[in-house]
Amino acid sequence: MTHELHSWVASANGHPDFSLHNLPLGVFSRGEETPRGGVAVGDFILDLGFALEAGLFQGEAQRAAELAGQTTLNAFFAAGTQARVALRQAVQALLRADHPQREHLQELGEHLLVPQGACRMYLPARVGDYTDFYVGIHHATQIGRLFRPDNPLLPNYKHVPIAYHGRASTLGVSGEAFKRPKGQTLPPGQDVPVFGPCRRLDYELELGIWIGPGNAQGEPIAIGDAAAHIAGFCLLNDWSARDIQAWEYQPLGPFLSKSFASTLSPWVVTVEALAPYRRAQPARPEGDPQPLPYLFDEHDQAQGALDIELEVLLRTPRMEAQGLPAQRIALSNTLNMYWTVAQMVTHHTVNGCALRPGDFLGSGTLSGPDADSCGSLLELTQGGKQPLQLPGGETRTFLEDGDEVIFRARCQTPGLPGIGFGECRGRVLPAG
């Protein structure tokens, strides 16, 4: 039996991403209008500002809509779970097929429901800080095996959620292109580095996490409370310059190889929308250490994992010229995370570090155990030794100018229609 919510917005019924079971939030504009908050429903965006002017929300939902309708979602994220739930329930009720005023709502037309195709999307929030984790154990193992065949995982990996501080200034939204980065690299067989465009440009398939209320400096977030500080999720492509990274990463880790561009999908899929797709955290292999007490919570272990299918597609300029669709090159899942999101949040704050509303976390590359589930070209091509075969005889070891990478994500569970994240799309431009 399928418990599906039906809408008077026809395109929402059966929509692969944005049915009434999802209702993600984002920031959009049409033409020269000021950016403002909205909710994705079918092929449209519910304009929260107009809905407020039309008196469609009352009470707590009205206050939540006022926060979510601003030019960024930071204030809405800060309001926490109660505001998200109030707005979600009100929007669901407003859009249901059995709403008593559906004819009046339909008459509001594009003032209330703006076609997505007519809109520009923005980063949903002003990001103060961005931290990228490394919780995809298959990625960590496969990358480690390329460089350290006898010791692929370093000893700390299974004890502590590894992360580094990223660069918030170069986070961009889906659809934007970026220039191939330049930097220092050390060519094979040489002792002196050279400067020039990156030659081993890669993507990284990640889950993005938006922080909600956050914590005061010096007041760590306990593992049992961490879920209340997570506002929602998106897709993240953490573009990587592998040759620059190989030269610079010792002893302090990534720097210019990661800070030139990261692409986010524009819609924030809320914690509430993902509730039906929560799963038990996969059991650790026999012999692996259990998390230290500050990272262990029974409820988090029972419900802290997410079952989200992740897809990577690639389209080259030649494929585009020939009218060929993007080709799927990988299919993975967030169940490949060795640490839960709650564990990431708790560890981030255990030393007293403050997280603020709108801060952003990346999961790290979420590869699966098989070749067709690799979340980066570095793994998929074995460091460039086994080229990827594409339609028309093309091959790729790493990304070339004009290549477009597309991420998609879907959630499915018995008895409910699936929901999706929309696309995370980015294109490589020649170096400046």
> Where is average pLDDT lowest: 154-158, 170-174, 262-266, 295-299?
154-158
Average pLDDT of the segment spanning 228-240 = 98
- How many other C-beta atoms are found inside a 10 Å radius of the C-beta of residue 107? 10
In DSSP terms, which residues pair with 360 in a beta bridge? 130, 210
Parallel, antiparallel or unpaired: strands 130-133 and 360-362: parallel
End of a domain among 122, 151, 173?
A: 122
Helices 59-68, 81-95: crossing angle, 10 deg rounding: 100
Question: Distance between CA 125 and CA 264 in Å, rounded?
Answer: 11
CA distances from 49 to 57, 69, 81 (A): 11, 6, 21
In this prediction, residue 311 has a pLDDT band, given cuts at 50, 70 and 90, of: very high
Catalytic one of 15, 21, 138, 139: 139
Q: Which CATH number is 40's domain given?
A: 2.30.30.230
Same domain, 202 and 348: yes
Same domain, 82 and 144: no
Close Cβ partners of 380 (under 8 Å, ≥ 6 residues apart): 329, 330, 371, 374, 388
Question: Distance between CA 403 and CA 145 in Å, rounded?
Answer: 28
Question: Distance between CA 353 and CA 347 in Å, rounded?
Answer: 9
**What 8-state DSSP symbol labels residue 281?**
P
SS3 of 326, please? coil
- How many other C-beta atoms are found inside a 10 Å radius of the C-beta of residue 179? 14
Same domain, 189 and 222: yes
As a whole number of Å, the end-to-end CA separation of the chain is 56
- 405 phi, psi to nearest 5 deg: -110, 135
Amino acid (1-letter code) at residue 276? P
- Total domains in the fold of the chain: 2
pLDDT above 70 for 46: yes
Same domain, 213 and 305: yes
Same domain, 163 and 60: no
In this prediction, residue 2 has a pLDDT band, given cuts at 50, 70 and 90, of: low
In this prediction, residue 274 has a pLDDT band, given cuts at 50, 70 and 90, of: very high
Structure confidence by residue, pLDDT tens digits, 52-85: 999 999 999 999 999 999 999 999 999 999 999 9
**What 8-state DSSP symbol labels residue 74?**
H
Same domain, 145 and 190: yes
Same domain, 391 and 424: yes
Contact 307, 413 (CB under 8 A): yes
Question: Distance between CA 77 and CA 128 in Å, rounded?
Answer: 13
Exposure string for 400-423, b = 16+ CB within 10 A, e = fewer: eebbbbbbbbebeeeebbbbbbbb
In DSSP terms, which residues pair with 409 in a beta bridge? 310
Q: Which CATH number is 234's domain given?
A: 3.90.850.10
Per-residue pLDDT at 415: 85
Same domain, 190 and 276: yes
**What 8-state DSSP symbol labels residue 338?**
S
Residue with tokens 């209702």: 23
Contact 426, 174 (CB under 8 A): yes
What average pLDDT is seen over the chain?
Answer: 96
Structure confidence by residue, pLDDT tens digits, 179-225: 999 999 999 999 999 999 999 999 999 999 999 999 999 999 999 99
Same domain, 220 and 74: no
Residue 3, domain member (yes or no):
no
* Whether residue 138 lies in the annotated active site: no
In this prediction, residue 1 has a pLDDT band, given cuts at 50, 70 and 90, of: very low
pLDDT above 70 for 361: yes
Q: Domain range for residue 166?
A: 130-429
In this prediction, residue 280 has a pLDDT band, given cuts at 50, 70 and 90, of: very high
Residue 345, domain member (yes or no):
yes
Same domain, 160 and 99: no
Same domain, 325 and 219: yes
Indicate the pTM of the whole model.
0.97
Structure confidence by residue, pLDDT tens digits, 121-177: 999 999 999 999 999 999 999 999 988 888 889 889 999 999 999 999 999 999 999
Same domain, 243 and 309: yes
Close Cβ partners of 432 (under 8 Å, ≥ 6 residues apart): 179, 182
Average pLDDT of the segment spanning 338-366 = 98
Close Cβ partners of 251 (under 8 Å, ≥ 6 residues apart): none
Element (H, E) at 407: strand 404-413
Longest CA–CA span in the chain (Å) reads 75
pLDDT above 50 for 38: yes
